[in-house]
C-alpha cells in the first residue's frame, strides 16, 4: 500500500492546522494527551503484541516489554512537559546603564511545527509509530506524520489508529498523528513544505538519502537520523585475566540479543593478543541460538556482510552458534594493524548476530586501530582498577555518545540523562534520540524584546516564571 500525493497533502494540511493547538496548549493539557496515548497502548497490548509477533517474530515476552518501554517514554515526556526546564526559559531585565543599553529580553523554546518520523524495523513499538521520536515531537508541541516501516505494516496501521483515537478523545485536535506508507510517500513526506523537521532510525544508505532530500529542499529542514554504529569494546589484559569467562559469556549474550539486530550491538571487540579470549568466546557461542531476521532485506544482507568481512585476508571465522532457522551467530577475528589499515572494510556495520574480535599486541597498536573506528553510539571499556585507560577513554570520548565501564551496550535506559547518539555515521546531529533531551530536536528558540506582558507566551510571564525553572539575569532559579 502506498499513500498517494493527495492523501499526503491532506495529512499535512491537518497536521499544520493542529500545530498551533499543540504549540499553545498548556503543560497540563499536553501532558494529559501524552498519558492518554500511553494508556490506550496499554489497554490494547494483547491485540498489538499479537500483530507484532506475526509480523516481526520477535516473541511475546520481548514485545510486551517493548510496549512497556514505549508507554513509559510517553509518560516520562509528560512529566518533563509539566516540569518545564526543557523550555530553557531565560530573562534579561532591561538595563539602561549597560554599555550598550540593554533591552528586556525573554527567551523560550517553541515547537517547530509538523514533524516527520520514520519508523525502524528492529523496535516495532519503541522506535516506530508511537516510539521515542513521536513522543518527543508531541511533547515539544508538534503534530507528527509517521512513515510506516514495511516490516510491520499492519502493526503500524493499528498502532496509529489506537493512538490517534486516544489523542482526539482526550481533546487533542484532528491531525495530531498521521501515517503514510511506501518509499515514494516517505521521500515526499520529508520534502513536503509543511513538514518542519524529521526523525529517522535505519540504515546509513536510507538515512543519507533522506538527509540529502531534507537538506536539498528550497527551505532545508533539520533531519535527525540514527544510522550506523559498530559500538567498539576494549578489554584489557587485566580484565581478561580476572574474569575472562564472564566477559566471553557477556559478549555472546549481547551480540546475539534480538538476533543481533540492536543498534547498540558490540560489533568490534579489541582484545589482547594470545590471551585466550577467542577460545573462551568460541566455547560460549557454541550453544548460542540464532533466529529469523526481521525482514527479507536484512536476511539477504547478513550473509553478504559476513562474506564482505571474510574476504579480507586478515579475517577468519573462529566459531558459529547452533544451526537452526534463520541467522546463525558468527564470531570472526582479525588484528589491529589490519583494522588501522583497512577500516572501510573491517569496520563496516553488519546487522545481525556477528561480532569481530580484534587482537592488539601493544597500547600503540590498540590506539591506532581505535582512532580508525567511525562514530558510534557507544564505546565500552572492561578494565581493572590498576589499569591506565586514560588514553583509550580519550579516544572513545571523541568517537561515541555513551561510554560504558561495565556491562554491555545492548540496553538503553530511557531517562533524563541518557544520550543515544554520536558522531557520523551514528547520527546526523549532536542530539539524542532517547531520553528527555530528545525533545530538544523539535524545538526552536524565540526571543521577545520589550514585549508587553499580555503579549508574551504564558510561560514567559512573571507569574508563570515564579513556578518554573528559569535563568534571570544570569542566575539560575529553581522554584
Question: Which member of 263, 278, 349, 365 is catalytic?
Answer: 263
Gap between the Cα atoms of 416 and 413, Å rounded: 9
Q: Please give the full DSSP string across 150-209, using - where no structure is assigned.
A: TTSHHHHHHHHHHHHHHHHHTTPPTTSEEEE-SHHHHHHHHH-TT--EEEEES-HHHHHH
Order across the sheet with 268-272: list the strands: 316-320, 330-335, 354-360, 268-272, 232-235, 376-382, 400-404
Gap between the Cα atoms of 284 and 287, Å rounded: 7
Q: Please give the full DSSP string across 20-40, using - where no structure is assigned.
A: HHHHHS-HHHHHHHHHHHHHH
Give the CA diameter of the chain: 78
Cα distances (Å, whole numbers) of residue 432 to 224, 280, 424: 9, 35, 13
Beta bridge partners of 316: 333
Taking a C-beta distance cutoff of 8 angstroms, is the pair 147, 120 a contact?
A: no
Question: Which member of 226, 278, 349, 365 is catalytic?
Answer: 226
Cα 218 to its chain centre, rounded Å, is: 27
Structural Rg of the chain based on CA atoms: 24
Q: Specify the 3-state DSSP secondary structure of 371.
A: helix
In the residue annotation, 226 being an active-site residue is answered as yes
In the residue annotation, 263 being an active-site residue is answered as yes
Q: Could you tell me whether strands 475-477 and 105-111 are parallel, antiparallel, or unpaired per DSSP bridges?
A: unpaired
| Residues catalogued as catalytic | 226, 263
Amino acid at each position: 500500500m502506498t499513500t498517494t500525493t493527495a492523501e499526503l497533502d491532506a495529512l499535512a494540511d491537518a497536521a499544520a492546522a493542529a500545530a498551533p493547538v499543540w504549540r499553545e496548549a498548556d503543560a497540563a493539557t499536553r501532558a494529559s494527551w501524552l498519558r492518554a496515548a500511553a494508556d490506550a497502548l496499554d489497554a490494547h497490548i494483547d491485540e498489538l503484541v499479537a500483530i507484532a509477533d506475526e509480523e516481526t517474530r520477535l516473541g511475546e515476552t520481548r514485545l510486551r516489554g517493548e510496549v512497556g518501554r514505549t508507554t513509559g517514554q510517553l509518560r516520562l515526556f509528560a512529566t518533563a512537559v509539566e516540569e518545564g526546564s526543557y523550555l530553557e526559559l531565560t530573562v534579561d531585565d532591561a538595563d539602561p546603564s549597560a554599555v550598550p543599553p540593554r533591552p528586556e529580553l525573554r527567551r523560550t523554546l517553541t515547537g517547530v511545527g509538523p514533524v516527520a518520523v520514520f519508523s525502524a524495523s528492529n523496535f516495532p513499538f519503541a522506535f516506530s509509530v508511537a516510539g521515542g521520536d513521536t513522543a518527543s515531537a508531541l511533547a515539544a508541541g508538534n503534530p507528527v506524520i509517521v512513515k510506516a516501516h514495511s516490516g510491520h505494516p499492519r502493526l503500524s496501521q493499528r498502532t496509529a489508529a489506537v493512538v490517534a483515537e486516544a489523542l482526539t478523545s482526550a481533546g487533542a485536535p484532528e491531525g495530531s498523528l498521521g501515517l503514510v506508507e511506501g518509499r515514494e510517500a516517505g521521500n515526499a513526506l520529508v520534502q513536503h513544505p509543511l513538514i518542519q523537521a524529521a526523525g529517522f532510525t535505519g540504515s546509513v544508505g536510507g538515512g543519507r538519502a533522506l538527509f540529502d532530500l531534507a537538506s536539498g529542499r528550497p527551505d532545508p529542514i533539520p533531519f535527525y537520523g540514527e544510522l550506523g554504529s559498530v559500538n567498539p569494546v576494549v578489554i584489557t589484559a587485566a580484565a581478561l585475566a580476572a574474569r575472562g569467562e564472564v566477559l566471553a559469556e557477556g559478549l555472546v549474550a549481547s551480540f546475539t540479543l534480538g538476533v543481533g539486530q540492536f543498534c547498540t550491538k558490540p560489533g568490534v571487540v579489541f582484545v589482547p593478543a594470545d590471551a585466550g579470549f577467542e577460545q573462551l568466546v568460541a566455547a560460549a557461542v557454541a550453544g548460542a541460538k540464532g533466529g529469523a531476521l526481521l525482514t527479507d532485506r536484512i536476511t539477504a544482507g547478513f550473509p553478504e556482510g559476513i562474506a564482505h568481512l571474510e574476504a579480507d585476508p586478515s579475517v577468519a571465522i573462529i566459531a558459529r552458534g547452533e544451526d537452526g532457522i534463520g541467522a546463525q551467530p558468527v564470531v570472526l577475528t582479525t588484528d589491529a594493524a589490519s583494522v588501522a589499515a583497512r577500516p572501510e572494510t573491517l569496520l563496516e556495520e553488519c546487522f545481525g548476530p556477528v561480532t569481530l574480535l580484534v587482537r592488539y599486541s601493544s597500547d600503540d597498536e590498540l590506539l591506532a586501530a581505535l582512532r580508525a573506528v567511525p562514530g558510534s553510539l557507544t564505546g565500552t571499556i572492561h578494565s581493572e582498577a590498576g589499569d591506565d585507560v586514560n588514553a583509550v577513554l580519550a579516544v572513545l570520548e571523541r568517537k561515541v555518545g555513551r561510554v560504558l565501564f561495565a556491562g554491555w551496550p545492548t540496553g538503553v535506559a530511557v531517562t533524563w540523562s541518557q544520550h543515544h547518539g554520536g558522531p557520523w555515521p551514528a547520527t546526523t546531529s549532536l542530539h539524542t534520540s532517547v531520553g528527555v533531551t530528545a525533545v530538544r530536536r523539535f524545538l526552536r528558540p524565540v526571543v521577545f524584546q520589550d514585549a508587553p506582558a499580555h503579549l508574551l507566551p504564558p510561560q514567559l510571564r512573571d507569574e508563570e516564571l515564579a513556578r518554573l525553572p528559569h535563568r534571570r539575569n544570569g542566575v539560575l532559579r529553581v522554584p
